[in-house]
Structure 1
């Protein structure tokens, strides 16, 4: 199956989940994420605002706020084809970027290499750390530094997914940045501790 058809199939599968199934999955993933050593050690956590059937990290966000973590949202830099991360206090105004994605306005920015834990959405994943995104390349360009030097302890990259998004094996290209772990509603796939 070509990558465009695979994206279409996996996006349709996650959108087909009922609201109750979506909520149950979000709660299960939040429990698993909070059990990770990387979560316990993280002071800054990058999250996202779910759309299009993505696993919603809102339950996890609420807990992280209670735990006093600094939450961040991606801020796209279209001219550079990458992203950085803006602090996301609960009261921060969100403004839609040119793609219609809400981003915090007027809050401090963090470079990708300065974030402790990155929770990322995905379209598909495999048990080997492979991630299929939307195809824009923002994730891979933003974390490309991880491909050219010894792996630092941060950022720890975790994909959040529904079990229906798992595939046997994704084609890995030289520029693909692997995830350290994927956590779904039915389990976790850890690549590194």
Structure 2
């Protein structure tokens, strides 16, 4: 129980830190994250890329979509599966499509064209906190961990999981719980971090 309390406190502190960034600071950092990803070539051979729609002050992947829009890449956004499994499906993303808010207040396509997570090459993931071993703190719902459970033990290599974050979201050490699925890379405005699993 103590571990959960610590993670919840850390989550709240990190969310506050992120919310204290001005909209200009967030936009500037999101642009730098996009540039770093472009220079890294981590997305160069991928054709199906999962992204998210910014909701709580996260780094905005829209810059990445704009950079790759002419490079024959398809983007997909998460949609909560309505079967009570708490899994995410992904819907093809078009910039001008219509959205509705789900029960958590997060935008989803009104008329989704759904695919399973294992159909994606790369998934750019939101996070509240991260460490250099690829552990992440999300919003606490466990949707991403459950959705990518098939990557547990890395029997499969696809999709590659890349967290997008501001450098102020880094934490020295996040305890890894049995159900946590670590990231392969973290992209910040300062660097691309190759996660080193312990």
> Which TM-score applies when normalising by structure 2?
0.91
Distance 1:46 1:155 in 2: 9
- Return the match for 1:6 from 7, 10, 17: 10
The Cα shift of 1:34 comes to 1.4
Asked if 1:71 is matched to 2:83, the reply is: no
User: Would the alpha carbon gap of residues 53 and 149 (structure 1) be closer, same or farther in structure 2, given more than 3 Å must change?
Assistant: closer
* 2:55–2:106 CA contact under 8 A, matched in 1: no
The answer to which of 169-178 and 86-95 deviates more is 86-95
Partners of 1:49 and 1:34 lie apart in 2 by: 19
Larger displacement relative to structure 2 (174-183 or 143-152):
143-152
Match of 1:51 in 2: 55
Gaps of 5+ in 2: none
Deviation at 1:93, TM superposition (A): 1.4
Q: 2:166 aligns with which of 158, 162, 167?
A: 162
TM-score (normalised: structure 1) = 0.93
Which residue, out of 110, 132, 146, partners 1:127? 132
Give the structure 1 partner of residue 115 of structure 2: 110
How far apart are the structure 2 equivalents of 1:100 and 1:149? Answer: 32
- Whole-Å Cα distance in 2 between the matches of residues 110 and 38 of structure 1? 22
Are the counterparts in 2 of residues 65 and 71 from structure 1 also a CA contact under 8 Å? no
CA distance in 2 between partners of 1:53 and 1:35 (Å): 24
Shift of 1:173: 0.7
Please give the per-residue CA displacement for 1:114-157, whole angstroms capped at 9, x wherever unaligned. Answer: 101100110000011111101100000000000155132x2010
Residue correspondences, number: 191
